[in-house]
Amino acid sequence: MSLSHPETHSLAQPLLTALPPLELYPLLSHIGETSPPSIYTPTIENTITGTFAYLVVLSAAIGGLLFGYDTGVISGVLVTVGTDLGETLTPHQMELITAITSIGALVGSCGAGFWADRVGRKRIIAVCCVVFIAAACGMGFSQTVTQLVCGRLVVGFAVGAASMIVPVYIAEIAPSHQRGMLLTLNSVATTGGQAVAYIVAVLVKDWKYSWRIMILVSVVPPAIFLLVVGFIPESPRFLVLKNDVRTASSALGKLYPSATAEQIGEAIEIIQKDVLANKAILQETAAVRLFGKTSTVRALAVCCGLMMFQQLCGFNALMYYSPTIFQTLGIKNPLLTGLFIALTNFAFTFVAVYLIDRVGRRKILLNTVWIMSLTLFGAGYFLRNMKPGAEPSTGNSQIIMALCCLCLYVASYASALGTVPWTASELLPMEARALGATLVTCCNWLTNTIVSVSFLSLVTRIGSWGTFSIYGAVCVLGWLGIYVAYPEVNGLPLEVVSKIFEDGFGVGLANEMRREFKYVGERREGGVD
């Protein structure tokens, strides 16, 4: 295809007045046709992404770090708090302290999308950091179980909002060919936060008020973000949505420092077209924006289903309660064993970073989820005689086998399922992206709450075999769902991804579109228009 470009112009001038007509940039308007549609990728994506873009993503990934540290730190708190809160914690109190943050996160994620569409992604992340600092200080100096529970609830508000906004923000500033990799950095931050929490717990476990120190250390990451937030640009897509084209152009210039003015203007126009195409929809109610189009409903079903699967497979129960489980099994240093699990999770997240844009989201999920299922059944079998409160036993080969199964389960989870669902916002159209991400994140926290509030009770009532078998069965169902309904969108621009769902779940259509994009890219590299 042949495209004309505007003459070189100053970025200080209004870009849209110098751009060619909108119709020069078709965005898959004929998806239902038999022949592959004409596809155009902005040439700005062929330029080198600046170091600044990676620093922006790392800064934004603070939401993942907060979630990860919170997940890891509570496991250390539960085994070191003792009677500091005036009583010895019961299993039900442990479940309440753990699950209340997920409930708060559910509430926080519900309101985040509303404000993200009004004040911007960056500002919401900054507010989350302020709330997190205040809540962490309150928890660190709490004197009763009730005070600790209240602090955990408030911190949940911030964690939930950040977990919804950060993936949207990263997806909107990332080049399409690097979007998966950059989104996985949020997962790296999450697993890194879990590992840091365990390291801190191991280092201070014998100190006086060790559990308070574990909590108070968590104020450091959000404080760092607040120091750098003034240097981070807002999402160009959000700025175009608010008709602030000049600031959006400036943001793109920082993210793509080698891009020309024409390339920046071209990218702005493509975003502008997507905004204009959905302008009428943006004026409608949230329900219409989310459920008014069948394609959006299908995309939401895939996103929500994958996110619920991520939680219902039981992984976070292991992260929340692994030291408690290991203590029951008679392991002398349960926190150190938990640290090994957390480090396995952190290390294999880099496998996802490496593979997600090379192999693709769909393939790595299909090649790891079945391993998760087998290892969960195996762990349940080897732990079948263990229950919380039972007499601990040591030197048991079955415990060693169970730990091996759990490590393999964690490695498989971290390599795919721990990361891919957080890229789900890329499946949603712009008019539903923030609100849809809210719904997806709500599904995450709802199922997280179910798992965290029920795990110890399940193990007590039906044993480890029954509990892990339930999670293993969930993995079987999840694998089938991925095979049938999850399309591969690696390398497709956000503006066209939602077209995949216009006539079904589009697993085959997505592959066709990716081949066409690859063909167009190869022609462009070869100098053929």
pLDDT for the residue 495: 67
pLDDT for the residue 2: 36
pLDDT of 514 over the 50 cut: yes
> Is there a domain that residue 452 lies in?
yes
Q: Which helix (H) or strand (E) holds 336?
A: helix 334-355
Continuous H helices in 120-235: 121-140, 145-173, 179-204, 210-216, 220-228
* Rounded CA separation 143/193 (Å): 26
Would you place residue 1 in the very low, low, confident or very high pLDDT band (cuts 50, 70, 90)?
A: very low
SS (H, E, C) 410-438: HHHHHHCCCCHHHHHHHHCCHHHHHHHHH
CA angle at 260 for the pair 255 and 261, rounded to the nearest 5°: 95
Give mean pLDDT, residues 336-355: 89
> Is there a domain that residue 451 lies in?
yes
Give mean pLDDT, residues 482-506: 82
pLDDT for the residue 387: 54
> Is there a domain that residue 416 lies in?
yes
* Rounded CA separation 425/388 (Å): 39
CA angle at 481 for the pair 353 and 100, rounded to the nearest 5°: 70
Domain that holds residue 64: 51-232+282-485
pLDDT of 352 over the 60 cut: yes
* Rounded CA separation 337/403 (Å): 9
424: domain CATH number is: 1.20.1250.20
> Is there a domain that residue 12 lies in?
no
Return all residues near 262 (Cβ < 8 A) that are at least 6 apart. 5, 6, 7, 8
Return all residues near 220 (Cβ < 8 A) that are at least 6 apart. none
Which range has the top average pLDDT, 49-63, 170-184, 192-206? Answer: 192-206
The Cβ-side half-sphere exposure at 169, using a 13 Å CA radius, reads 34
Q: Which residue has the higher pLDDT, 36 or 476?
A: 476
The Cβ-side half-sphere exposure at 148, using a 13 Å CA radius, reads 24
In contact, 309 and 474? CB cutoff 8 Å: yes
> Is there a domain that residue 41 lies in?
no
pLDDT of 11 over the 50 cut: no
Domain count, the chain: 1
> Is there a domain that residue 267 lies in?
no
DSSP character string of 85-126:
TSSPPPHHHHHHHHHHHHHHHHHHHHHHHHHHHHH-HHHHHH
> Is there a domain that residue 519 lies in?
no
pLDDT for the residue 38: 38
Q: What is the pLDDT of residues 379-390, one digit of tens each?
A: 988 887 665 544
Q: What is the pLDDT of residues 290-331, one digit of tens each?
A: 777 888 899 999 999 999 999 999 999 988 888 877 777 777
Residue with tokens 């390599």: 415
Name the amino acid, one letter, at 509: L
Q: What is the pLDDT of residues 407-435, one digit of tens each?
A: 999 999 999 999 888 777 778 887 787 67
pLDDT of 65 over the 90 cut: no
pLDDT for the residue 312: 96
> Is there a domain that residue 515 lies in?
no
* Rounded CA separation 342/407 (Å): 9
pLDDT for the residue 91: 84
Q: pTM of the entire structure?
A: 0.74
CB-based burial of residue 392 (10 Å sphere; 0-12 exposed, 13-18 middle, 19+ buried)? Answer: middle
